[in-house]
A and B are shown apart, each in its own frame.
Chain A
Amino acid sequence: MTSTQTNRPIYLDHHASTPTDPRVLEAMLPYFSEHFGNPHSIQHVIGRTAAEAVERARAQVAALISADVREVVFTSGATESNNIAIKGAAWFAREHQGKDHIVTAVSEHKCVLESCARLEREGFRVTYLPVDRDCQVDLDALADAIEEKTILVSLMAAQNEVGSLAPIEAIGAITRERGVLFHTDAAQAVGKMPLDVNAANIDLMSISGHKIYGPKGVGVLYVRRRPRARLEPLFDGGGQERGIRSGTVAPALVVGIGEACAVAGEGMAEENARLSELRGRMWRRIETALPDTMLNGSLEHRLAANLNLSFPRTDGTALIEALSEDVCVSSGSACTSGAVESSYVLRAMGLSDAEAGSSLRIGLGRGTTEHEIDAAADRIIAEVVRLRATPAKGAAE
């Protein structure tokens, strides 16, 4: 794969984006050339070929999450999926059931929080649950927050900065019992851990192509049929994807996310064991050299590929900048266009501004090797030591 060459930077930002898997790329390419048809032009054979590819991809996605093919709606990405799930469910329930309340958490992805903020401007009420030091919500607090007019609970399956895994089955049991919808942003979780929409009573789930070694520009919204999760579409016109998502479905992209799901499903346990081993190796190496390093979040309920560390007395921005030629890591979510502010997620977990501002998010991936892990750890250690020795204005505190 990509990164065994020594002259390339080591890519450890797989939560921001993953390289497209060669198998995925190979599956996609014919749909940019000989099979270029519009999948909705089923009156002719070129359109039908594209339509068949779309349906094969739908089955691949459904298989990975134990869903019915009719529950898989293709979108332009997890951001759009989250927007449709949250705003769509809210609009529908207000119109038809007179409900107006949403429950989510302070640690959700920006697009979930922004969708909720948008709904607040439209008069909806939103409860933002706090999280603890491990980035977990309290299930009793969740149960207490659900009220008569609650439409939906939106809690992510795996956190994008600290990799914390939510107890989705326990959450799904609560939401099902209380008769509210459960939406989970699973952009970081799908393909990286077993996910069964039925076992967890998930009603709506967002998936991203480019977070699972598929292409950018495509995602999925899982929409439960029984009991049916009812949504207002974000936009109309054409009525594709069962009216939930209009617009020409892009066969190449959809084939890409389908294949990415199929590939992710193979050998997931082995890959997780490998990543967990590498992640542990990196953590031990850094902790040994820099014993005051803080591990943010628990190691127990965590994505195998995630490490989030704070280096006291070190400016995280300067550290990332110093590393940027050899080791690609980030301070948190890639969103907000490079605007580097300390992570709201870490602060919500109770870290001080200084602690949050000295953090690194490290995301391992399918191509990550032991050699890279050692090299990256050594570079990080060296830069932390160097920055601490340099009396720069950037040093925190």
Chain B
Amino acid sequence: MRNRVYLDYNATAPVRPEARAAVEAALDRVGNPSSVHGFGRAARKIVEDAREAVAAMAGASPAEVVFTSGASEANAQALKACGRSRVLVSAVEHASVLDAVPDALRIPVNSEGLVDLDALDAMLAIDKTPAVVAVMLVNNETGVVQPVAKASAVAKRHGALMLCDAVQGAGKIEIDFKSLGADMMSFSAHKLAGPQGSGALIVSDQIEIDALIQGGGQERGRRGGTENTPGIAGFGAAAEIALGRRDHARIRGLRDRMEREALARVPEARIFGAGAPRIGNTTCIAIPGRPASTQVMSLDLEGIAVSAGAACSSGKVKTSHVLDAMGVGPDWSDHAIRVSLGWATSEADIDRFLDIWTAMAKQPVAA
């Protein structure tokens, strides 16, 4: 990381030292949490302590926490195993929600990326088939915070279940499962500076859910497979820090300064979702006439890591479905990059980014 500036926290966050220590400590121990002997019981305790930490961070009870391999699995389980055949998802959801169920209906968003609650209401009213609705807490590309509590209220009124993908909110804003009114909520450890390969689905104790992965009855029959003890331990440690809201104000300050200075230096640049409530670490910013892929490449050559939208499987840059849903034309959306900050981001990182980015923006556009 020396001389490098990492501003791609929404893709993955460097592991916090506390989380890394928890992972390493657990990796050093043998034991299957389901074994009844001392080694097994010690592993079980690691898992249950982490369950409490994750529950506290989410505002849920420990029994509502189902550990999974990550948020993709959690989202898929929520939508495929909740027993509802009609699925409505906001148009700006993560691919793991959009693609979980074929033929899911898309709830439109407005030009700031906020989900259209009237449209949701109408979509639920038109068909009485028991439904499940997915609205994310924070958009991964723009950082826009969705009105989840209101969406939950609409869903409830129609007897629909509510999934809230809270992956990008965790560790960045306060989260309360109960007051958000969701029935299910998904988390990814590595997006909140825990290890990759660990996540959770929070399932309200008011509802039943099937396992997506059948196994030996782990996670109260809701997720088979030996628990990833080190991953869960690291998740727990990261969740504990998230609960303390460490760095939130500092990061928002850095981001706001970055945006102010960027727009002052390059007035023709445009920031998306700026008119909506937004998380403090994310900026989706476009420079007209400069393809996002070129920008990302130029910045990479200078040792600055950002991304053009979500980290997708192929690494190819596609037009953002998020900006598309917000009605942003391709002349802007194909020129937008995502800059996302986190716990290890410094003032110097922002200065360096601004210098390189400004120089890039000021260069004549190649024909």
Contacts and interface: CB of A to CB of B under 8 A. Distances in A.
A247 interface: yes
B37 A80 contact: no
Interface string A1-42: 010000001010100111110000100110011101110111
Interface string A319-345: 011001100111001111111100000
B196 A251 contact: yes
A122 to B, nearest CB: 12
Interface in B276-313: 293, 296-297, 299-300, 303-308, 311-313
A202 interface: no
A110 B73 contact: no
B195 A235 contact: no
A240 B72 CA distance: 11
Contact of A111 (B214, B227, B231): B214
A136 interface: no
Contacts of A40: 11, 311-313, 315
B177 interface: no
A337 B197 CA distance: 22
Interface string A69-82: 00000011111100
B181 interface: no
B215 A13 contact: no
Interface stretch (B24-32, B125-133, B259-267): B24-32
Nearest to A77: B225
B122 interface: no
B78 to A, nearest CB: 10
Given A17-B32, A237-B100, A330 B37 contact: yes
Contact of B94 (A18, A37, A79, A237): A237
Contact of B73 (A20, A111, A235): A235
B11 A41 contact: yes
A66 interface: no
B119 interface: no
A46 interface: yes
A325 B36 CA distance: 11
A328 B37 contact: yes
| Overall SS of chain A's interface | loop
Interface stretch (A214-222, A271-279, A380-388): A214-222
A77 B197 CA distance: 10
B85 interface: no
Interface in B58-77: 68-73, 75-77
B76 A43 contact: no
Contacts of B72: 235, 237-238, 246-248
Nearest to A16: B32
A11 B266 CA distance: 64
A46 B8 contact: yes
For chain A, the bracket of interface size reads 35 or more
Interface string A188-210: 00000000000000000000101
Interface residues of B, number: 83
Given A47-B11, A235-B73, A252-B196, A117 B32 contact: no
A150 interface: no
A298 B63 CA distance: 43
A121 to B, nearest CB: 10
Contacts of A17: 30-32, 35, 43, 226
B230 interface: yes
A236 B305 contact: no
Interface of B: 1, 4, 6, 8, 11-15, 20, 23-24, 27-32, 34-40, 43, 68-73, 75-77, 80, 94-100, 188, 190, 195-198, 211-218, 224-231, 234, 293, 296-297, 299-300, 303-308, 311-315, 317
Interface of A: 2, 9, 11, 13, 16-20, 25, 28-29, 32-34, 36-38, 40-47, 75-80, 83, 109-111, 114-115, 117-118, 208, 210, 215-218, 234-240, 243, 246-253, 320-321, 324-325, 328-330, 333-340
Closest 3 CB pairs of A and B: A335-B216, A217-B228, A237-B96
9 contacts: A17-B35, A41-B11, A44-B300, A83-B224, A110-B224, A251-B196, A328-B37, A328-B40, A337-B217
